[in-house]
Amino acid sequence: MVLRCKRQLAGWEFVAEKGENVEVKRRAGEEVRPTPSSPKGTGQELLLFLLLLELVLALAHSRPSPREDPAQSETRTVTLVLGSGSSGLRECLRNGSFESWKEGRPLYWEGENIAFTPSAHSGSGAVVLGEDPSKEALLWQDFPVVAGRRLDFRFTARFSLGMPVVRGRVEWLDREKRPVGLGTEVVLPATLPADYRPYWRLTGGVPEKAVWGRVCFVKEGYGTAEVDDVSLVG
């Protein structure tokens, strides 16, 4: 009786064989039928053999193949999705792409010395700071805030005439819209190229006294700047 067990696991192949003693005798070059030995003790040996085999297989299951990179033996993919529904994040501004205008002003924005331009970074329009290049220009929008939040501030801008000083900032205001803090400020470099460039800042936390926030762009000095795709998420 011969017991043969073959099992492949995690790149390992195990072949175990257990059987009774077999003798082959030859007489004058003639092979005779094998004579098995006594079957005494076969049951106990078989049980021991199976226990040892299971132990070997258990050890093999806990170790990677010597021919296999452990880092490649298993692949796990974790996808983290952040959205406004699950994390509470939202866009704080309206008409940040400056697509909607009425009577020469972008809807939901306030401003002085500003104008529409079709030379946009995206969409069909952007805002010009400095309709009169020799005068200061202002553009702002107010929005409600929640204490403790930090906001992601982004926009694109370029100079279209001269090299004015342009600042984009996020301010914190109280209930009467009086300043109570500065969230962040971006000063555009004087060497700003003619193409739109993106800018990004993360504000500090909204203070406890703040009820409103304000995104504001200021142009000082001679020249014009064009701003588009203003976003504030938090």
- DSSP letters, 208-223, are TT--EEEEEEEEESSE
pLDDT at residue number 189: 86
Are the beta carbons of 226 and 160 closer than 8 angstroms? yes
Q: How many CB atoms lie within 10 A of CB 8?
A: 9
Cβ–Cβ < 8 Å for 3, 17: yes
pLDDT digits (tens, 9 = 90+) for 118-143: 999 999 999 999 999 999 999 999 99
Tell me the residue length of the chain.
234
Tally the C-alpha atoms within 13 A of residue 190's C-alpha that lie toward its C-beta: 6
15 vs 154 pLDDT, higher one: 154
| Cα gap 196→190, rounded to integer Å | 14
Burial degree of 16 (CB within 10 A; 0-12, 13-18, 19+): middle
Domain ranges of the chain: 2-70, 89-233
Task: Give per-residue pLDDT as tens, 194-232.
Answer: 899 999 999 999 999 999 999 999 999 999 999 999 999
pTM of the model: 0.63
pLDDT band at 89 (very low <50, low <70, confident <90, very high): confident
Name the residue with tokens 């209930």: 175
Question: Do 82 and 89 touch, CB atoms closer than 8 A?
Answer: yes
Spatial distance between the Cα atoms of 173 and 178, rounded to a whole number of angstroms = 5
Contact between 135 and 104 under an 8 Å Cβ cutoff? The reply is: no
| CB distance 210 to 70 below 8 Å | no
Q: Residue 180 has what DSSP assignment? A: E
Rounded Cα–Cα distance for residues 232 and 183 (Å)? 12
C-alpha separations of 96 from 86, 153, 155, 191 in Å:
23, 11, 9, 25
Superfamily of domain 89-233: Galactose-binding domain-like (2.60.120.260)
Q: What percent of the chain has pLDDT over 90?
A: 57
Position 34 confidence tier, pLDDT thresholds 50, 70, 90: very low
